[in-house]
Amino acid sequence: MTDPVVGLVLEGRYHLQERLARGGMSTVYAAQDLRLHRTVAVKVMAEHLAHDPTFVDRFTREARAAAMLSHPNVVSVSDQGSDQGLVFLVMELVRGRTLRDLLQARGRLTVAEAFAVLEPVLAGLTAAHRAGIVHRDIKPENVLIGVDGVVKVADFGLARALTGTGQTSHTGGVLIGTVAYLSPEQLERGKADARSDVYAAGVVLYEMLTGHPPYGGDTPLAVAYQHVHHDMPPPSAEVPGIPWQVDELVTRTTRREPAVRPLDAGAFLADLEDVRSDLGVERMPVPTGRSSAGPGTLRPTNRPTRPRPRHPSDPGEPRTQVLGPGGSRPGRGSRTSTLPGMGAGPTTDVGARRPAPPDRPRPGVPEAVRRRRARLAVAVVLLVLVTIGAVGWWLGSGRWTTVPALAGREQAVAVDLLQQAGLDPVVAEERFSEDVPAGVVISADPDGGEAIRGTDVELVVSRGQERFEVGTDLVGLPLDEVRTRLEDVPVVPSEVQDYSDDVPVGHVSGFEPEAGTPLQRGQDLTVYVSRGPAPVAVPALVGLAPEEAAANLEALGFDVARAEGRSADVDTGEVMSVTPATGVKAAYGSTVTITVSVGVPRVVVPDVSGRSQEEAVALLEQAGLVPEFQTFITGDRVYRQEPAAGETVDQGTTVNLLLSFG
């Protein structure tokens, strides 16, 4: 039946061309990105989940979580959206197969092959853990092996930030996850951190080495029970010949108590490298289908070495499962055993001794067998006593531990102390502090005293001093734009008008404290607004040549105007005055007028005829003229004057006066 989604173009950009895979919650298609002309993978949420905000949130969370990561072993996510009733996200297209496909084709891998696959998986998880993200759904289906042998971790749909609550995804009171790979703390408390990914990666390592997960059962709840109550069996119990160091690595990474597992994927990767070095395991290419085991090496096979119960993760089944009250999903075709007396034929106990023929007496039990049975009985009794003692210790004081003092310690140190005490560290909040350096614990809850092992201890970790910066790019911008930009900076700005020779009027010329200085929340910030250049004092120019005076004024930013005048004190052709006057401050760019002397002032000769000598002298000197007297027969009255009264002459001109009797 043709898939109706194939052929659609989402958001006018992604042309869905081929269905690649289908799961319980989504379908993956190969698509052409019409904008960038490249092939991508588009994951489309199942139609029956597209209206459930919880599952839509999971899709959005996957896009955001994966978009935070940039690592060659993590499938990159480039876009997310919804169109035509379809919720989708756009991912890098990896051509190849999943680890599940490889295990179905090969059965199991050699130690070297398993290490070759697991190392890049742990490298990608290390990048996620360092970015504060826990995957929470590590399984073979989410490990992609490209045709070029590059391994990538996919499907961050259940990812959650490590600094959040750490709760495993719930929907309607049920737990979402692939039960065969869920850690005990996820199953018991719904809590997950980087150590939960370590547990799942350890289970994947077991499965690669043996060809199947460690636990099987007819229902997911049966598998979950074994994860919570049983220790992981060593892979060599299934595949003889696996080195004990590999057994110990699987055991260490899948311990039921999170505090005693490696701290994160980076620590797991370091342990893996140590085992590789101890065993001298050579590096080899990632297997993509055909076996690379050499002669004498235990060859992969599609059959497990020993009989095992059915696993929910058998081919065709390993999808994300939902557990809850009455919500377990049965597995495929459960196997049944016929017991005597239940209406079926007799069965043979493969571990029982064949009965002796009826015509021969049954031999007695040898002494060696009786001794072994006696030792076994003693061992059983001792084991029961030790178990009773351990249970009593646990119910008494054993389940209690002391919460260490954590305030003032580095976050990594605090986490180590809590894990050593059997407690679960949770970074509940990261808070700015003026007194506590970044990465140091401010407080913890509970803080000291006793607590039950496995209790969450919430840490408040310092982010250091909260500081804000005013960008240097704001200097020179218009005031209105700077006001808008400062709305995002929690400081208290005030504006001051200031002169500036370089910044236009109405633009910001600077800040106090200077732009780029770290500022505290609520700190005062002075914004200097340019009024243009400062006023300039007019220089002394009288007596200078007009050209020299104009050059001086223009160098100070003034415009120059020229006028002419007469002066008795300044030589002709020189500046006799300036407006505004010398020493007065004038606005930058304003006009200053220089007046150039064209000679002495001109005056009108007063009429002094008939006046006494004294009166004539007073009037002429008042007009700026020089009187000179001639006497015609003795007298004291002006009889005649030259130049005549009313003529205009240069100031300082001599006026000849003729005196006579009146």
In the chain the domains, ranked by start, together with CATH numbers, are 9-91 (3.30.200.20), 96-318 (1.10.510.10), 402-462 (3.30.10.20), 472-530 (3.30.10.20), 536-597 (3.30.10.20), 602-660 (3.30.10.20)
Strand partners, 575: 596
pLDDT digits (tens, 9 = 90+) for 185-212: 988 887 889 999 999 999 999 999 999 9
Q: Which among 35, 29, 3, 2 is positioned nearest to 16, based on CA atoms?
A: 29
Is residue 1 very low, low, confident or very high in pLDDT (cuts 50, 70, 90)?
Answer: low
How remote is the C-alpha of 583 from its chain's centroid? 61
Q: Are 221 and 236 in contact (CB under 8 A)?
A: no
pLDDT (0 to 100) of residue 569: 84
pTM: 0.47
Show the tokens assigned to 640: 């005649």
Mean pLDDT of the 629-637 span: 72
Alpha helices, H only, 255-318: 265-279
Residue type, 366: P
Phi, psi of 299 (to 5 degrees): -80, 145
pLDDT at position 157 is 54
Rounded Cα distance between 174 and 487, Å, is: 45
What CA–CA distances, in Å, run from 134 to 127, 155, 200, 252, 425?
A: 10, 12, 12, 19, 14
Q: pLDDT digits over 379-399, tens only?
A: 776 776 766 655 555 545 456
Q: H or E element: which one contains 54?
A: helix 53-67
Please write the tens of the pLDDT for every residue from 114-170. Answer: 999 999 999 999 999 988 888 888 999 999 999 989 999 988 754 444 433 333 344
The closest alpha carbon to 140, from 177, 103, 87, belongs to 103
Mean pLDDT along residues 442-451: 87
Among residues 3, 79, 83, 137, which one is catalytic?
A: 137
Asked if 501 is an active-site residue, the reply is no
Distances (CA, A) of 419 to 264, 401, 412: 12, 11, 11
- The CA distance from 21 to 254, in Å, is 30
Average pLDDT in the chain? 81
pLDDT tens for each residue of 260-275: 999 999 999 999 999 9
Q: Buried (b) or exposed (e) across 73-86, using 16+ Cβ within 10 A?
A: bbbbbebbbbeeeb
pLDDT tens for 107-129 read 999 999 999 999 999 999 999 99
